[in-house]
Amino acid sequence: MNDLTDLRIFIASLLRPIINEAIKENLEAAKKNIKDIPISQSDNSDLLSYKQAAEYTNYSIKSLYGKVHFHTVPHFKNESGRVSFSRKELLEWLRSGKKKTKAEIEQDADNYVALKK
């Protein structure tokens, strides 16, 4: 029993560096393959720079800087700190701040009164 345990430990100590090296090589190859995958123009067209987001939202670039700082606008930061905006998320964000018209408020009031009767 003791000899078998010693043999297993010995084999594991021989194989561990080989297995670790193989894992490291496979991981490096996988990272390279991921970097080589091209991003199509259609995938990238949804991402906007500060200037593009400012034009899209009619906010100034300075206002967007402040909104990013205070996390009040949806945005992305990559590992280097570069900020991007999703056109779709900006539109949803803009629409979420929609104020009701006087007619919509009156309709809501009428509906509320009708339900309370």
Indicate the pLDDT class of residue 33, thresholds 50, 70 and 90: low
| pLDDT at residue 42, rounded to an integer | 43
Pairing outcome for strands 83-86 and 76-77: antiparallel
- For residues 43-74, one letter each, b for 16 or more C-beta atoms within 10 angstroms of the residue's C-beta and e for the rest, the string is eeeeebebeebbeebebeeeebeebbeeeebe
pLDDT tens-place string over residues 16-27: 888 888 778 877
pLDDT in tens, 35-94: 555 544 445 568 999 999 999 999 999 999 999 999 999 999 988 899 999 999 999 999
pLDDT for the residue 2: 76
Q: What is the DSSP letter of 73?
A: S
